[in-house]
Each structure stands twice: as C-alpha cells, then as structure tokens.
Amino acid sequence: MNAPVIHAQSVDLTFQTADGPVHALKDVDLSIKAGEFVSFIGPSGCGKTTFLRTIAALENPTSGRLSVNGMSPDEARRARAYGYVFQAPGLYPWRTIAGNISLPLEIMGFGKADRTERVQRVLELVDLAGFGGKFPWQLSGGMQQRASIARALAFDADILLMDEPFGALDEIVRDRLNEALLELWRKTGKTIGFVTHSIPEAVYLSTRIVVMSPRPGRITRVIDSPLPAERPLDIRDTPEFIALAHEVREGLREGHGDDV
C-alpha cells in the first residue's frame, strides 16, 4: 500500500547533439504515489517534457533509476501502465472520433464488443457522448483535445501522462477543460503527471507541484497543495490559491528568474 507508482532516483539525461552535450535532466529524485495529481512547471528547456518522456520509455536516462508500477519504464510501456496525451490532439482525419479512440484498442487486440463498450464509456467520461460518429474536423479544438484524452483513457491504465495538453487552447476553453480534467481525476482516482507552463493551471489542478529549472534541468522545489480536492473555478480568487501561486512563482524565480 502506498508504494510509489513512479519512482525516480538520481535520474540524469544528457543528449549528445552536433553542438555538444545537452544536460536535460540532472539528479532528478521524485516519488509519485497512486492517485496524486502532479504538475511539472518551469521555463522552456528545463526538461519537463524530457522527464515525462523518460517515464514513458520514450527517452532513456543516461544514469539513475526509474520505475513505473515497480517495473522499468520499458516493461511498464509493454504492460500498458499509462496513457499519454500530447500537446496536439493528433487525431486521424479519415477516422471518426470513435474510430480514433478505438485504434489503439484494435492494435492491442481488444475484441469488437469490448472496444465499442470502452469507446462509449470514455466518450461519456470526457463529455463527448453523441460525438463518436463525427470526424475530428467537425469538432472544436477543445473537443478534439478531449477526444485525445478519451483515447488515452480507453485501455484503462492507472496512470495518465499529459504533456501540455491545453497549451494551444484559449483561456475559456482551457478553464472548462481544467474543470473537466479535475472531475475526471476525482471520479477515476488515476495518477496524473501533467506538464504545464501556466502557474494558475498547475495550482488549480495539482495535489503537488514540481518546479524545475534549466541548464541543467533539475527539480528546485516540490510544493504540496493545501487546497481541497473539490475545486470550483472561483477557488482561484481565494487567499489560499493566491498564496500557493505566489509560492510557485517564487520557486520559478529562484530557479531562473528572467526566463519565467
């Protein structure tokens, strides 16, 4: 009970490039427990995406240890331990929304009846019931991103890794999706790792906020949120929220003032 779902110990990653080595992650230590909502925030190039990709076995650490559900990231990938949501929805235009959500399930060998039931369930979870037969271009950007979240949820992994999923959306849509994601997290109890550039988004969503700084990319602060799980949008006007946002901003300044 309460064993970490994601456990990083002294994770280092250096990319070898034509211009010389890029030290993307340095001494990253972090434990994430089941059911936590952990956001990664920091200026461009601090290694947020690289760390998420390392958890997802899309990059390999140069040194250090990393486990996901007690397995190596590669074993966890094969065990389908997580769903991954990219910044762009990445839906195939020639497939319907239901067809897009179903695609990974087809590749994984789920039967037709099971696929139909799962697609329906996740469409409801992201509030897109009734849109399964539409094509991506018939949906707004926010709805497309919800469809891509549904696709990541369809095989029911306990972990959801999200790389700036709402970065390209306008603020009103982003607010609505933030509310919807929080609701989904409360309903499903999933463990979520979430990359963002936005202080209010990180503060609104997270149970813990990991502040990172660049050159080399490292964790400079880990902040526990005192906010309750139930968070209406207007919680952002409360003194607790404002104080937490201030603490995150201080953490960002401390790490790398001028870039934030």
Ligand X SMILES: Nc1ncnc2c1ncn2[C@@H]1O[C@H](COP(=O)(O)OP(=O)(O)OP(=O)(O)O)[C@@H](O)[C@H]1O
Binding site for ligand X (CB under 6 A): 15, 17, 22, 24, 42, 44-50, 197, 217
Nearer to ligand X, 115 or 218 (CB): 218
Name which of 15 and 92 has its Cβ closer to ligand X: 15
For the chain, list the strands marked E by DSSP. 4-17, 20-33, 37-41, 63-68, 82-85, 159-163, 191-196, 208-213, 218-224
What is the Cα 42 distance to its own chain's centre?
A: 14
Smallest distance from ligand X to CB 51, Å: 7
Report, in Å, the least distance between residue 84 CB and ligand X.
14
Residue 256 structure tokens: 């790398």
Spatial CA neighbour of 134 closest among 150, 155, 111: 150
Smallest distance, Å, CB 214 to ligand X?
7
Q: Tokens 């463990």 — which residue?
A: 191
> Which residue lies nearer to ligand X by CB, 126 or 219?
219
CB of 197 to ligand X, least distance (A): 6
Q: Which of 98, 195 has the CB closer to ligand X? A: 195
Q: How is 199-231 classified by DSSP, letter by letter?
A: HHHHHHH-SEEEEEETTTTEEEEEEE--S-S--
